[in-house]
A = this chain, B = another copy of it.
């Protein structure tokens, strides 16, 4: 987070009025807050199939994932999910509803997963994807999914497919969150 030859000298302490220890600069008092990051993504449906992207980048290069990525400042969570589908699969999508909110606490990520559908039946591999496809349930490469939360989202969606009103899902209790 910082260049080597600067005058910031951090000490770990609980700042006044705070409840958590932070890195505080002893020179200037700067408090280095580290916060969880938000990933947004979606299960994009078309004709009963689901849009999957094979990753062209690390981590998990070559494995299959849902269009998803880090949310940016200045956009809503829904806009972020739409942008990721555009970037990774050149797909224009419509957000239908929220499917799940996961936390991967190990890497301080909150993953907000929507249900969506293709606005127009067009897609192709974006820069971060090797290939993209529409997969039916029997064509999903279960053994080659990039992340556990991709599997969670797919399986949880499958359990409510066709149902309009359901409570959103969260982490699968006891499930390993490591790929």
Contacts and interface: CB of A to CB of B under 8 A. Distances in A.
Interface of A: 1-8, 19-20, 25, 27-28, 30, 34-38, 70-78, 87, 97-98, 101, 103, 105, 108, 110, 112, 164-168, 170-171
A36 B97 contact: no
> Number of copies of this chain in the oligomer?
2
Contacts of A101: 77, 98, 101, 112
Contact of A35 (B19, B70, B98): B70
Given A27-B3, A38-B110, A168 B105 contact: no
Given A2-B30, A71-B110, A165-B165, 11 more contacts: A3-B8, A3-B27, A3-B28, A35-B71, A36-B71, A74-B108, A77-B110, A77-B170, A98-B168, A101-B101, A167-B168
A98 B170 contact: yes
